[in-house]
Amino acid sequence: MINRLVIVGVGLIGGSLALALKKAKFVRNIIGVGRSEVNLNIARDLRIVDEIAVNLSDAVAEADLIVLAAPLSATRPLFAELRPILSETTILTDVGSVKGGIVKDAEEQLGASFCRFVPGHPIAGSEAKGAKSAFAELFLNHNVLLTPSQKTDSSAISLVEDMWRAAGARVSLLSHTEHDQNLATTSHLPHILAYVLMNLVQDESGVDKLESMVGGGFRDTTRIASSDPEIWVDIILANREEILSACSQYQTKFTEFIDALEVMDGNRILDLIKRAKHARDTLVIPDANNA
């Protein structure tokens, strides 16, 4: 049970976590912090949070746990702002999609409080944003990846694990290096492919001309192109090296397919498609939208 929870950034992820923990009766009091008073007021009116605050120092007093659900570019400044005002018992976690830079920034900025920081990433989300898009079932049966360092207190890890399980998620622990390598392929590269495909359609034909010819395949493939552009610029730049590696590997596979098509090698094309189908059919993906 969390007595006082502070969520910095009450959007889809932060707001849904608040609702899930309230539903599970795992928290007594939730304080929402953010830059937009309009969004914070919506969160309070919808009873996502119990209190709101623009001033971080007022909100974190006596907090048991702080969840940073702000964009990646805002996280380092938040660490610096939190360092002088964190108590010796407050635990800190985040929800960022890239972990290597976050861990480095936390160690540099948090000082003695770094041992109570548990980096996290819920693999759940959608292109929607803001408190009004939050819902309690977002994390149900979804994976949450935690990337604590060897310096992280076990009690801090346990509380963050318990929090996410109370929200309905499955929790796994791994290194931040492994996290960033894998997410470059399973999340960051798919977003880039969706952006490139939509730009291709726009440049070649114009979206309006193709409206009557768009079906489920195109819709599903390009859905994530509607994601918040500013958030995804942060993510892509933060995981630059791993994404470049994933793009290079994808380029190799794409060239393999093109080569088979150029020589009309039907057997090779069939083999590539069958391999992809088998991999996709055996992959367990939750129903909710992946982030």
Q: What is the pLDDT of residues 224-269, one digit of tens each?
A: 999 889 889 999 999 999 999 999 999 999 999 999 999 999 999 9
Token pair 């702000």 is at which residue?
70
CA–CA distance from 95 to each of 12, 24, 41, 125, 251 (Å)?
11, 20, 22, 11, 30
* Local structure of 106: helix, strand or coil: helix
Question: Do residues 260 and 141 both lie within one domain?
Answer: no
pLDDT exceeds cutoff 60 at 290: no
Report the greatest alpha carbon distance in the chain. Answer: 68
H-helix or E-strand spanning residue 93: strand 91-94
Give the domain CATH number at 36: 3.40.50.720
Q: Does 188 lie in the same domain as 82?
A: no
| Backbone φ, ψ for residue 289 (5° rounding) | -70, 135
Mark whether 273 and 146 lie in a shared domain: no
Within-domain flag for 160: yes
Domain count within the chain: 2
Tell me: do 87 and 111 sit in the same domain.
yes
Strands 27-33 and 2-8: parallel
Containing structural domain, residue 185: 178-282
The pLDDT value given to residue 112: 94
Do both 156 and 124 map to the same domain?
yes
Question: What phi and psi values does residue 20 have, to the nearest 5 degrees?
Answer: -65, -40
Please check whether residue 86 lies inside any domain of the structure. yes
For 122, the 3-state DSSP assignment is strand
- Residue at 287 is within a domain: no
Co-location of 90 and 219 in the same domain: no
Q: Note the pLDDT of residue 228.
A: 87
Per-residue pLDDT for 288 more than 60?
no
Q: How far apart (Å, rounded) are the C-alpha atoms in residues 241 and 247?
A: 10
Asked whether residue 11 falls in the same domain as residue 78, the answer is: yes
Domain assignment present for residue 288? The answer is no
Which helix (H) or strand (E) segment holds residue 99: the answer is: none
| pTM, full prediction | 0.88
Among the listed residues 109, 167, 134, 186, the one whose alpha carbon sits nearest the alpha carbon of residue 16: 134
Instruction: Kindly report the length of the chain.
Output: 291
One domain, residues 18 and 138: yes
Residue 290 forms part of a structural domain: no
Residues 58-112: tens digit of each pLDDT = 899 889 999 999 989 899 899 999 999 999 999 999 999 999 999 999 999 999 9
Last residue of a domain, one of 137, 154, 174: 174
